[in-house]
Structure 1
Amino acid sequence: MSSPLKDVKVGKTAALLKSIAHPIRLRILLALTKKSGITVSALQGQLQVELTQLSRYLKLMAGQGILRRRRKGNEIYYSIANDALQKALTVFIAQQE
């Protein structure tokens, strides 16, 4: 029998995995595992994704607490907000090589 606390954790984990389970969102996260604090324009150049789509995904993941935003002048820098997620992504990448 599962406890309500475990059910909450499982639900949150499932929501997190659902949020990142998209090829472009995964590419964004993988780029951020290699270099933290990347601007939107740098990500766009690296990933070759439409700016509107990239901005939408960045906003979505930042709103869910997956990404951290930092504004410096006119630029917004993104990084992965959760160290555990960053480590997990690194492990997933290593398993695919």
Structure 2
Amino acid sequence: MKINELNPEQLERAANMLKAIAHPMRISIMSLLEEGARLSVTEIHQTLNIEQSTASHHLGILKDKGVLGATRDGKNTYYFLKHENLANIINCISHCSVSA
């Protein structure tokens, strides 16, 4: 689907997803969740060496804007990329920032 084929509501959702992604910590979180990974808040905050509340805050934003999905298993919630194609955006940005 091309951008000019999207209706205003779809464009608004896409813009909100891009705004949510546009933060260094959220990009780091997304990179952990590439290739179908499912991680808990604890695993994410320990891996990124950030406070659990910080991880939860960023995960909440990403989930609210439709970037991440979540499943509950007992006491833990596991987060994952809702659309694997979003990883391509991160890869593209990484390549562009190296050659800038």
TM-score clears 0.5? yes
- Structure 1 window deviating more from structure 2 (6-15 vs 73-82): it is 6-15
Shift of 1:64: 1.6
Post-superposition, which runs of at least 4 consecutive aligned residues in structure 1 deviate over 6 A? none
Asked if structure 2 preserves the Cα contact closer than 8 Å seen for 1:68 and 1:80, the reply is yes
Q: What stretches of structure 2 of length at least 5 have no aligned partner?
A: none
1:40 matched residue in structure 2: 41
Provide the TM-score with structure 2 as the length reference. Answer: 0.77
Contact preservation (8 Å) 1:33, 1:89:
no
CA distance in structure 2 between the partners assigned to 1:68 and 1:95 by the alignment: 27
Larger CA deviation: 81-90 vs 35-44: 81-90
| Deviations, residues 9-28 of structure 1 (Å, cap 9, x unaligned) | 43332221111111111111
TM-score by length of 1: 0.79
**Shift of residue 71 of structure 1?**
0.9
Structure 1 5/88 Cα, relative in aligned 2: closer, same or farther at 3 Å? Answer: closer
Report the number of matched residues.
Answer: 95
Counterpart position of 2:74: 73
Which letter maps to 2:60?
K
- 2:29 alignment counterpart: 28
RMSD: 2.4
Q: List runs of 5+ in structure 1 lacking aligned partners.
A: none
Whether the 8 Å contact between 2:34 and 2:84 is mirrored in structure 1 is no
